[in-house]
Amino acid sequence: MENILVVGSLNADLVVRAPRFPQPGETISGEDLQVFPGGKGANQAVAAVRLGAKVSMLGRVGRDTFGDFLLDNLKANHVNTTLIQRDDASTGTAIIVVDADGQNSIVLSPGANGKVSPSDVESASFSTFSLLLLQLEIPTPTVLRAAQLARQNGVRVLLNPAPAKELPDELIALADFIVPNETELSLLTGTQVNDVSSAEAAAKKLLERGAQNVIVTLGSKGALIAAKDFTRHIPSYQVNVVDTTAAGDAFIGGFAVELIGRSGGSLTPADSLENASYAKHIEKAVRYACACGALACTKFGAQPSLPNRFEVEEFRARH
């Protein structure tokens, strides 16, 4: 049985490392261009597989060489690609600049990702999965439809609202876990989030909008878990940052795998952070996810940086 379904984007990442980001109107020179498999959906699928889950991905790529590249790559990573369609549009592309501090700046050309439709997700057998992973690089009505179908079939929903975008309350309420970073939470709540206490205040606002459980990723500051009558800050690991691209995707993959357990067993509807043993399970999953995110910052490129579970175990034993 496959346990995770990812409905999301696949991108070819065209990456250049440069000393800094160019100013508007300025041209600067960087290093040689590198092409990596990326896209938040595909990254999260690969992250979860490398950590021990069985994963299917639903999405679209073009009938072009980048489409071949991304499909071959997912197959090589043992992600089930039978729900990925070829489209007349070009394969999604991300133009990425990484600066000397490992921070990135990304321009997306969604291409075929923009064609993933509500009827695409209606063809999937949701009931065979335990968990649905969603992000926002495909159209929001498709994300919403996938969340509705998951809920109707008793499948848990983990929504990573990335990149930052306004969302309907209905989608926020359908997610069992919503996992924004500081920028995404700022946009969703209209407040500035830049530390643990502002994250806590903003997470409360998201709970008031109907979110069930919020996990805010705070980069080197760790993560904040927030639910009704529950908040817990989990510190992260300090590492030498080479490239932060896909660190959030590594976090999501790690959290997802620990959430459902490697056996892929379903969660029960009674799971709530008010239950002490469930809260411990979630805290443990977030600690594991922080290690995955930290490790992803230590390597260049999106999918090349996603750790496997032996690397995570070894890293955690050292820290």
Q: Could you list the residues that contact ligand RIB (CB under 6 A)?
A: 11, 13, 38-40, 43, 94, 106, 108, 137, 245-246, 248-249, 302
Indicate the residue among 11 and 142 with the shorter CB distance to ligand RIB.
11
Residue type, 133: L
Alpha helices (H) along the chain: 40-50, 65-76, 118-122, 140-152, 169-174, 182-189, 196-208, 247-260, 276-296, 309-318
CB of 67 to ligand RIB, least distance (A): 14
Taking the C-alpha atoms of residue 51 and residue 262, their distance in angstroms, rounded to an integer, is 9
Taking the C-alpha atoms of residue 146 and residue 46, their distance in angstroms, rounded to an integer, is 20
CA 27 → CA 95, 102, 197, distances in Å? 15, 20, 39
Q: Which of 57, 251, 216, 73 is nearest to 138 (CA)?
A: 57
Between helix 65-76 and helix 40-50 the angle, nearest 10°, is: 20
Indicate the residue among 94 and 203 with the shorter CB distance to ligand RIB.
94
Indicate the residue among 40 and 60 with the shorter CB distance to ligand RIB.
40
- Is residue 271 among the annotated active site residues? no
Q: Which of 311, 316, 297 is nearest to 241 (CA)?
A: 297
CB of 304 to ligand RIB, least distance (A): 11
CB of 70 to ligand RIB, least distance (A): 10
CB of 293 to ligand RIB, least distance (A): 11
Residue with tokens 């459980």: 213
Tell me the residue number closest to ligand RIB, measured at CB.
38
CA 300 → CA 4, 82, 306, distances in Å? 26, 29, 10
Indicate the residue among 17 and 40 with the shorter CB distance to ligand RIB.
40
Catalytic option among 64, 120, 249, 271: 249
Indicate the residue among 220 and 266 with the shorter CB distance to ligand RIB.
220
CB of 85 to ligand RIB, least distance (A): 19
Which residues have a catalytic role annotated?
249
